[in-house]
Chain A
Amino acid sequence: MEYRFDIPVSSDKIKKLRVGDIVYISGKIFTARDEAHAKMFKAGKLPFNPSEMALYHCGPLMEKKGKSWKVVSAGPTTSGRMEIFEDKFIKKYGINIIIGKGGMGKKTKKALQKNIGVYTSYTGGAGALAAYHIEDVPAVYWLDELGMPEAIWIFEVKEFGPLVVAMDSHGGSIYREQSQ
């Protein structure tokens, strides 16, 4: 099945998604790699509301044009590095769509089931194409401290995909057990 969703997405809609489905999303997403995950846990009050957005495992290549930031290339990074944080992250921030590549482990799989979320895979390396579907960069956080790849970037995306549902809210996973 193929779906087109606006973010935030309701639990009812997330529940419909099954491993192997294709999704295109529109709305706000935020990037966070391992350092940003750790920093968010430590930060206390956040300058943005993650529960209204999808989480994108991505360290983008950005370029400053005048005062505003433009995306040059922004494909996914390896999600496995975030496995040690993700179950707590999903619970704490109410994340229900994760975009990444390579898959995640058992703890995340369980947390997605419990909190009704999905892990979706975007084609790794497809950074130039991804940039095409990012229409705006409304904000960036902790850029000076974390640097370009690790900072939290807020993207406004349109028809971002194809995202393959790789882990669903029913305990399903597309990945072989060995790779987890």
Chain B
Amino acid sequence: MAQKDIMQGIVQLIRKAETELPKDVIVALKHAHELEKGIAKIQLEVMLKNIDVARKTGRPICQDTGVQTFFVKVGLDFPHINTLKDLITDGVKKATVVVPLRPNNVDPFTGINHEKNDSWDDVLSITWDFVEGSDALITAFPKGGGSENMSKLKMFEPSDGIEGVKDFVVSEMIKAGGNPCPPTVVGVGIGGGADLAMKLGKIALLRPVGVRHKDKTIAKMEEELIRRINKSGIGPMGLGGKTTVLDVHIEKAHRHPASLPVGLVVQCWAARKADMIIHADGTFEVK
């Protein structure tokens, strides 16, 4: 019985992520709305109205319900550890029908869009982390295609330094223009190898908007990047204005002496996310 309840809980988690934006994102959009005027203000007005309609009517905020992406921290003593992957997959399958979700599941060779969103030919995008304890924490992070298309990886020469990294982030966001649905949240992963830099860029997006990195040097760099990108004037939807990014989040890992990888991952203003805690007895909370 607990298994079926957990699966239903995962459907609830996906529904929440698709239809209600986190408070921190709404606060940032409201702040931008106060700051802007003219066409930029109209864009933010429409965004805020849309958030309201989606929440009240239970419709997905955006028709692009994204790639179903999950970050899971599972306790080593969590009793459903063996079945959790299947439960998430079944939850996605069910959510596709009942929320509903748009099929975003195209075979790159045949071009066929498979309707259930339940597999990427076997594996959903789930990032696993194993921790002490008997609970499981799942973060649902549906990721839209328009913003994901602006992702970049650059393998810098270490001598390009952090200044080179900053210029790269600013120029890429200016190049992206209105395409990723600004005002965006930008995730920057610095260090590691190529794969880790990209993963850190995405993990950076999980941090709430408005929260600075705990390392003061990194926090300062985040503030500088926000200032420089917003100075570009690209504005909401690229139609001009003061707010091109709601936030920039950086995460770092140590690098190989010969490399300085940077992963840039962009999230649209509809920065969707929801969390679920499942306890050992199968009870859960979605928030």
Residues of A whose CB lies within 8 Å of any CB of B are 20, 22, 35, 58-61, 63, 72-75, 77-78, 80, 101-103, 121, 123-132, 146-150, 162, 164, 166, 174-176, 178-180
- Residues in A neighbouring B237, C-beta threshold 8 A: 101-102, 121, 123-124, 164
- Residues in A neighbouring B43, C-beta threshold 8 A: 123, 164
User: Most chain-A Cβ atoms within 10 A of its Cβ — which of B145, B179, B234?
Assistant: B179
Instruction: Choose from A60, A103, A150 the contact partner of B63 (Cβ within 8 Å).
Output: A60
Q: Could you list 18 A-B pairs, sorted by A, with CB under 8 Å? A: A35-B111, A61-B60, A61-B102, A72-B59, A78-B145, A124-B269, A125-B47, A127-B63, A128-B60, A132-B53, A146-B113, A148-B103, A149-B104, A164-B237, A166-B239, A174-B238, A176-B233, A179-B176
B40 → chain A, closest Cβ, in Å? 10
**A175–B236 alpha-carbon span in the complex (Å):** 12
Residues of B whose CB lies within 8 Å of any CB of A are 39, 42-43, 46-47, 49-50, 53-54, 57, 59-65, 100-104, 106, 111-113, 115, 144-146, 149, 174-179, 181, 232-234, 236-240, 268-270
- Residues in A neighbouring B46, C-beta threshold 8 A: 123, 126, 129, 162
**A123–B50 alpha-carbon span in the complex (Å):** 10
| Chain B interface, >50% SS class | loop
- Residues in A neighbouring B146, C-beta threshold 8 A: 77-78, 101-102, 124
Contact B179–A125 (Cβ < 8 Å): no
Q: A124-B146, A147-B113, A178-B177 are in contact. Are A61 and B42 (CB under 8 A)?
A: no
- Residues in B neighbouring A124, C-beta threshold 8 A: 62, 146, 178, 181, 237, 268-269
- Residues in B neighbouring A176, C-beta threshold 8 A: 174, 177, 232-234, 238
